[in-house]
């Protein structure tokens, strides 16, 4: 039996279609924690049946929710997973080997993600290896910080695993549009509060070109076929929407002044 025990932390809100498969992939963990941020569907019921310790916490952002999950955990090692992510047998085996022999100078591990979009695994366009830092020695995790793209602050070294998290990123264009509308507002607000220079035609063109260059020239999104091309173009559109909402905030602010 493994001596070092691990708490798996999942943050969710209205994820009844995804949460069961996510929790099933974590059955091997010593503790399952669900931080619920305001579900009104079957998410809680499913989590109860899976033996989760359920905590309700709606305030703040992902950073606050991840920190809250850490504070509620019982064990010395932590694994964070999102509701649309899965741990397969290969990643589980690699994690358990690390738990048996965790180097003293290591605070955490970055884990690659295999992003599945429209049912296809994307290996280009900047979508692989797409490392995320999710496995921690609890006492070396200081805190999570950041409102949009949260990042961990930790004491010690970062190393990397080989086996990926399976990430079912997008199922449909409708789901993509809903997420873009939500997250672009947060991103625009952060840029506005950071006193981003006024948006104009040149800045719009520059932002869209940078995204095009990253997806299609540097990372060859078209090599993933139609799915890669559509998703790459969508990333340019998503970037445009964020800056358009920033422009809208700036216009409203100018009118008030």
Tens-place pLDDT, residues 147-190: 778 999 999 999 999 999 999 987 889 989 999 999 999 999 99
The neighbour count for residue 97, using CB atoms within 10 Å, is: 12
* Last residue in a domain, options 140, 169, 198: 169
The answer to whether residue 228 is domain-embedded is yes
Contacts of residue 84, defined as CB under 8 A and 6 or more positions apart, other chains included, come to 15, 18, 22, 167, 168, 169
Supply the mean pLDDT for the chain: 96
1 assigned to some structural domain:
no
Same-domain check for residues 181 and 234: yes
- Tens digit of each residue's pLDDT (9 = 90 or more) over 198-248: 999 999 999 999 999 999 999 999 999 999 999 999 999 999 999 999 999
Host domain of residue 24: 6-169
Same domain membership, residue 218 and residue 148: no
3-state secondary structure the chain: CCCCCEEEEEEECCCCCCHHHHHHCCCCCCEEEEEECCCCCCHHHHHHHCCCEEEECCCCCHHHHHHHHHHHCCCCEEEEEECCEECCHHHHHHHHHHHHCCCCCEEEEEECEEEEECCEECCCCCCCCCCEEEEEEHHHEEEEECCCCCEEEECCEEEECCCCEEEEEECCHHHHHHHHHHHHHHHHHHHHHCCCCCCCHHHHHHHHHHHHHHHHHHCCHHHHHHHHHHHHHHHHHHHHHHHHHHHHHHHHHHHHC
pTM over 0.75: yes
* Overall average pLDDT of the 28-45 stretch: 97
How many distinct structural domains can be found in the chain?
2
Tell me: do 38 and 149 sit in the same domain: yes
Any bridge partners for residue 114, and if so which?
166
Say if residue 178 is in the same domain as residue 150.
Answer: no
> Which residue, 109, 143, 169, sits at the end of a domain?
169
């Amino acid at each position: 039996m493994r001596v070092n025990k691990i708490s798996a932390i999942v943050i969710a809100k209205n994820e009844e279609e995804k949460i069961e498969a996510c929790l099933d992939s974590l059955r091997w963990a010593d503790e399952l924690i669900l931080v619920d941020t305001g579900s009104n569907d079957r998410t809680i019921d499913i989590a109860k049946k899976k033996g989760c310790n359920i905590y309700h916490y709606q305030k703040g952002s992902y950073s606050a929710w991840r920190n809250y999950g850490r504070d509620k955990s019982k064990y010395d090692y932590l694994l964070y997973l999102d509701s649309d992510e899965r741990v397969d047998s290969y990643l589980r085996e690699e994690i358990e080997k690390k738990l048996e022999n965790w180097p003293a100078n290591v605070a955490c591990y970055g884990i690659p993600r295999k992003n599945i979009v429209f049912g296809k695994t994307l290996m280009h366009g900047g979508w692989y290896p797409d490392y995320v830092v999710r496995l921690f020695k609890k006492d070396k995790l200081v805190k999570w910080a950041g409102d949009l793209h949260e990042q961990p602050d930790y004491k010690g070294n970062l190393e990397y695993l080989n086996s990926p998290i399976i990430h079912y990123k997008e199922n449909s264009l409708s789901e993509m549009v809903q997420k873009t509308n939500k997250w672009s507002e947060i991103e625009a607000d952060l840029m506005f509060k950071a006193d981003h220079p006024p948006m104009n035609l040149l800045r719009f063109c520059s932002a869209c070109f940078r995204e095009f260059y990253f997806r299609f020239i540097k990372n060859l999104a078209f090599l993933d076929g139609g799915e890669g091309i559509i998703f790459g173009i969508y990333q340019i559109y998503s970037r445009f929407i964020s800056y358009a909402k920033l422009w809208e905030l700036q216009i409203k602010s100018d009118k008030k002044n």
